[in-house]
Amino acid sequence: MTLTRPNLRTNQIGSPGAASIARVLSDKDVAPPHLSTLLLDKNSIGDEGAVAISLVVENNSTITKLDLGNNEIGDDGVAALAMAMRRNGSILELNLELNSFGKAGMANVAYMAQLNESLEKLQFGSHVVTVEGLAVLRLVNSFGFASGKAFNVDEEEKQT
């Protein structure tokens, strides 16, 4: 049996659990060689966990879908993920909805989306985006993307 799509949703693993998962997935001797989907939403991994997962993102070439929604990820965690995603050519779908990053995080994600040519779907869903964050996102969108790229952002503008 080959592990390709582990569902680790809603396990409240926190940042220590995310770090453990990152260590396993970064070890080429034990990591599942055909891992295509990593579902880590609703685990409260925070910035520390996102930084750990960013190391996997940067060095993995098989994951095509990464779900980090609802994980209390702030600006620092999103910055690490955005940096890793700039170097990743395999992830096609990234879910960051219901996290807690602000204007700086939004700017990092928007810049990453502009540079990452493989990313096709970036979900924000019910993420509370500040007016300033939406302005940054709209500015990046105004430059246009390759065919098929899409931002999924709720249009509710809330100040935080």
Domain containing residue 62: 14-153
Establish if 74 belongs to a structural domain: yes
Number of domains in the chain: 1
Establish if 100 belongs to a structural domain: yes
Establish if 5 belongs to a structural domain: no
Establish if 7 belongs to a structural domain: no
Contacts of 50 (CB under 8 A, 6+ apart): 18, 68, 71, 73, 76, 77, 78, 80, 81
- Taking the complete model, does pTM exceed 0.75, yes or no? yes
Establish if 82 belongs to a structural domain: yes
CATH number for 60: 3.80.10.10
Kindly state the tokens that stand for 117: 């040519």
Establish if 94 belongs to a structural domain: yes
Q: In tens digits, what is the pLDDT along the chain, a chain of 160 residues?
A: 577 787 889 999 999 999 999 999 988 888 888 899 999 999 999 999 999 999 999 988 999 999 999 999 999 999 999 999 988 989 999 999 999 888 888 888 888 877 888 888 888 766 555 566 666 666 666 655 444 455 555 444 343 3
